[in-house]
Structure 1
Amino acid sequence: MPSPPRRNGETENGGSGGKLGMGPLIRLVAVPDGMGPDDDRNNLLRLTVFMQEHMAPRVEELIRRSGEEEAAVDGDGDGWGRIRCVVADYDVGTWALDVASRTGVKSAAVWPASAAVMASQLSVPELIRDKIIDAHGSALTQEAFQLSPDMPMMQPAHLAWNCIGNDQGQELLFSCVLAGVRAVDECDYILCNSFRDAEAATFSRFPKILPIGPLLTGERPGKPVGHFWRPEDGACMSWLDVQPARSVVYVAFGSFTVFDRRQFQELALGLELTGRPFLWVVRPDIVHGDVHEYPDGFLDRVVASGNGGGRGKVVAWAPQQRVLAHPAVACFVSHCGWNSIMEGVRNGVPFVAWPYFADQFVNRAYICDIWRVGLPAVADKKSGMVTKEHLAGRVEEVMGDAGMRERIDMVVAHESVQEGGCSHGNFDMFVESIMS
């Protein structure tokens, strides 16, 4: 949020509306979200409700007050002026779009997932009309549906609001989705972390969704962002350097995925069964007690220690963009988070697709059915688990499929963000619009 510049890095910290100095071009303003220091901000539903209740009035006050700062600051005539545009994360910030509407400034919703999932939320009235879901968002059928030809098949039970929390939580989330649909109807842009060639059918049907991606934050030299657990383990890069080309299985399940004990151990044994080198990201928050423990002897048998040895490496967090760009990596066992998919596609690495919740099921459809650059991990009907034999077999199929690698090389992502590319042009147009 803009605020008047201060001299030579001076800062002014406060509660509601406190200013934080960040140089001559960016000003940060602290706006409390209403949660306490011990509250769990991974509880997305609770966080969303608190932000709307506590942050919206303060941000509205900030916007209305910003016009008063047209006057000179310290007599140098260099005021920041009125806030021109609100750019808000759609998932937790649609209340900010409402604030923009009330205050008469332009607005843009940032959608970090696939355009197809955004389209499913914009299509809620049609889904209710066609009796795919009821007025509370619950699935009325088990039949898959398409919003239009060439878009991914979707399962009603896998729609984002039906995958998080209990019945009460899902109903609350669906109400937030409805509020979001109303908010984006009035906003000027929906900025999407995707690119036109990846989702051409979706962008054709929903022209208000503007692709500006892929946004690969991991490429910022020395300034990795997007992870929450601890500093990235750069040692894994030197480990990759000594592995043969296209030999390593990279395994990462994002920030939220949690397996039960049996599935965690089956995954470990499946990686051992491949007989291939692997780099496995295991968040420290999920290895505790008897919930997530490695199979007996697993670490001693197959995991490289600080002294070397072993053909696998386990880290708490990895510089994923750099890992996927490494020539040693040949396969990505992924939870199908959209950022991970964009990074994998950008670097030409095929997938074993193992979604956990929400948009990840639609993303799997892109990987396996639309682009055909990966294979799904399928749970055994009897045990309900992805077995070690199945996982090892899928890895072998993916790594041995030359046609799959050729297809993923044809999904050209990086050209979109280069000068002259569609995403580059869209972003330039957006900036020019908000400055006019």
Structure 2
Amino acid sequence: MGIPHFLAIPFPVQGQVNPLMQFCHILTKHGYKMGIPTKKQEIQLSPNLPKMNTSDLPWLSLGKTFFTNHLVPEMQIMMKYGEWWLCNSAYDLEPGAFSLSQRFSPIGPLMEIESNNSLFYDEDTTCLNWLDQHAPKSVIYVSFGSLVVVEPNQFNELALGLDLMNKPFLWVIRPGNDNNAYPNEFNGSKGKIVSWVPQKKVLNHPSIACFITHCGWNSTIEGLCSGVPFLCWPFFIDQFMDKSYICDVWKVGLGLEKDENGLITKGEIENKVDQVLGYDDIRARSLELKEIAINNIEEGGKSAKNLEKFIKWAK
């Protein structure tokens, strides 16, 4: 007699895994063992959703203990008592995902608030004056957000890749992540290195040509609303799915691929930068997606209507 297997698939919108994990815990109480996929293969949860690799499933990068003992219980509480599930996204960006459940209400992209105070680190606003000195669509912007730590060998390769491009670059290396030494060949004469930036202002600056990003959701949304092409370098959790949307669904960027040693080489960086800057269709799609995203939050847009319904309910 065969042993039954269950595949638990989370809803593919940001903050999605709780109901499936509740179900998995019920199964374990009935004697079934909980595990994770061991076979690396591409799966597609729905014909209207991008493909993803089983090795990139969000919980694999968190660790089983953290995922099952901390994240899932907290999400169980939120899902049990939450009457509204609000998402910083837009229906027109993820129609395949939102069509799977009516409980999710997209109210994004949430981009209206401008603040002079950073939530994380002190912003180096001198980068804006530096950008003013460069031609339109000439600067490569590199930032991996507030959590990613780049390994020394990879840091080295990135520095060499930026130097090889012979293009101006703005590189964010946040405080506490600067223990990596620059390679001897790196002179940085073409670029500016800062600890933190006002990212929305940077992405909307006319000199920015493309955005090398970890594909965190906030950075993804900010890049979309700026109409800037992406070079995708995901590290963990939902960033791989975000990359799939950027490259395969929205077609506003390219992915940086690792070599057989797990390294994104300087040659790969240089090559993909040249490609993304040379594809006029990617630039055109980026501007098209910018308009779609912004239309959702303007008066009469789908996200604006959802937000209005929520505010009326809250009153």
Task: Give the structure-2-normalised TM-score.
Answer: 0.87
Partner of 1:370: 249
Determine if the alignment matches structure 1 residue 266 to structure 2 residue 144.
no
Distance 1:369 1:128, change over 3 A: farther
Distance 1:425 1:360, change over 3 A: same
1:9-88 to structure 2, matched below 5 A, reads: none
Alpha-carbon offset, residue 417 of structure 1: 1.1
Alpha-carbon offset, residue 115 of structure 1: 5.5
Name stretches of at least 5 consecutive residues in structure 2 with no aligned partner. Answer: 1-10, 27-31
Determine if the alignment matches structure 1 residue 379 to structure 2 residue 267.
no
User: Between Structure 1 and Structure 2, how many residues are aligned?
Assistant: 298
Inter-partner Cα distance in structure 2 for 1:250 and 1:128: 43
Mean alpha-carbon deviation: is it higher for 310-319 or for 182-191? 182-191
Inter-partner Cα distance in structure 1 for 2:169 and 2:19: 40
Inter-partner Cα distance in structure 2 for 1:224 and 1:391: 33
Corresponding residue to 2:302 among 412, 417, 422: 422
Q: Secondary structure at the match of 1:352?
A: strand
Determine if the alignment matches structure 1 residue 278 to structure 2 residue 176.
no
Q: Secondary structure at the match of 1:339?
A: helix
Corresponding residue to 1:359 among 193, 215, 238: 238
Q: Secondary structure at the match of 2:65?
A: helix
Task: Give the structure-1-normalised TM-score.
Answer: 0.64
Inter-partner Cα distance in structure 2 for 1:115 and 1:216: 22
Corresponding residue to 2:199 among 312, 315, 320: 320
Inter-partner Cα distance in structure 1 for 2:116 and 2:34: 42
Q: Work out which structure has the larger RCO, using CA pairs closer than 8 Å and 6 or more positions apart in sequence.
A: 2
8 Å CA contact 1:353, 1:364 repeated in 2: yes
1:295-339 Cα shifts (integer Å, max 9, x gaps):
1252xx32xxxxxxx320000001100000001001000000001
Root-mean-square deviation (CA, aligned residues, Å) is 2.3
Distance 1:418 1:135, change over 3 A: farther
Partner of 1:36: none
Corresponding residue to 2:143 among 238, 243, 252: 252
Corresponding residue to 1:214 among 106, 109, 118: 109
Partner of 1:432: 312
Runs of 4+ deviating beyond 6 Å:
125-129
Residue type at the aligned position of 2:285: R
Corresponding residue to 2:40 among 131, 136, 142: 142
Partner of 1:62: none
Partner of 2:216: 337
Name stretches of at least 5 consecutive residues in structure 1 with no aligned partner. Answer: 1-113, 303-309
Q: Secondary structure at the match of 1:287?
A: coil
1:406-433 Cα shifts (integer Å, max 9, x gaps):
1122212111111111111111100111
Inter-partner Cα distance in structure 1 for 2:106 and 2:156: 39
Inter-partner Cα distance in structure 1 for 2:19 and 2:281: 35
1:89-108 to structure 2, matched below 5 A, reads: none
Determine if the alignment matches structure 1 residue 201 to structure 2 residue 96.
yes
Partner of 1:241: 132
Distance 1:135 1:346, change over 3 A: farther
8 Å CA contact 1:115, 1:192 repeated in 2: no
Inter-partner Cα distance in structure 2 for 1:171 and 1:115: 19
Seq. identity, %: 38
Partner of 1:34: none
Residue type at the aligned position of 2:91: R
Determine if the alignment matches structure 1 residue 118 to structure 2 residue 15.
yes
Determine if the alignment matches structure 1 residue 296 to structure 2 residue 184.
yes
8 Å CA contact 1:145, 1:153 repeated in 2: yes
Residue type at the aligned position of 2:106: P
Determine if the alignment matches structure 1 residue 168 to structure 2 residue 65.
yes
Q: Secondary structure at the match of 2:15?
A: helix
Residue type at the aligned position of 1:116: V
Inter-partner Cα distance in structure 2 for 1:137 and 1:241: 53
Inter-partner Cα distance in structure 1 for 2:33 and 2:239: 24
Q: Secondary structure at the match of 2:304?
A: helix
Inter-partner Cα distance in structure 2 for 1:119 and 1:171: 14
